[in-house]
Structure 1
Amino acid sequence: MSMLEEFKTFAVKGNVVDLAVGIIIGGAFGKIVDSLVQDLVMPLVSKVLGGLDFSSYYLPLNGQATGLALAEAKKAGAVFAYGNFLTVALNFIILAFIIFQMVRLVNKVRGEAPPAPPAADPADVVLLREIRDALKNK
């Protein structure tokens, strides 16, 4: 089989196509969740916590003034932007929770039941175990 035919077989397998579709949809879904966090969740959290905007919290590392906006502070030197990290971490937690809920829903729709308990041992195996145990106890 030539390399071209081998690649064609690999590329048209269902797993590769499914993976590509999943990556594309995942990227678009990530943008939706990012907008959800930035535009809806974080303003509510900010309102509850007294008007705080996490994304602009930083510590200057080069001695620049602390009253600057984050973008201006980054231009002036290195900053430790912990507020932006908190926003991204919250974004990840929400994304992971939403994906978890989607997987649960898909499994429920598919009708996938939890794994069945292991089957009982056949009678002859049970009898042989009893004989073995009786011989051990003599």
Structure 2
Amino acid sequence: MDWQPHITVATIVEDQGRFLLVEELAGGQAVFNQPAGHLEANETLLQAAVRETLEETGWEVELTAVTGIYLYTAPSNGVTYQRVCFSARPLRHLPDSPLDHGIIGPRWLTRDELLAERAHWRSELVLRCIDDYLGGEHFSLGLIR
């Protein structure tokens, strides 16, 4: 079997203690995730993070730091994902921007509100990335080459 990890990006966007999350359908269930998705051909990780955030939430953002790099194997399908998580500042909401297929919409939640929705997380990485961000994990964007 040819094993190949999937390269993904995610973005932590905070505004006054609330985090920009995506409510989306996964396996027929509504779940919460960071704005996140796969790296596409001929784009950088930074471009992918900005693009995915816009496509999934309608928000334009400015990346500010790298929060972490994570390996996660999904129990549902056994696929391993390498997630590069960024933090970003919200710049502008474009409410008429079309959202990706399967996206219910953007949701701003506090950490406590997200914690109360544990059964509806896309993966454990949702809270892990926020907690790393809140714990001060802010690495220079120059880390990404």
Higher helix share goes to which structure?
1
- The one of the two structures with greater contact order (alpha-carbon pairs below 8 A, sep at least 6) is 2
TM-score w.r.t. structure 2 length? Answer: 0.19
TM-score (norm 1): 0.20
- Pick the structure with greater CA Rg: 1
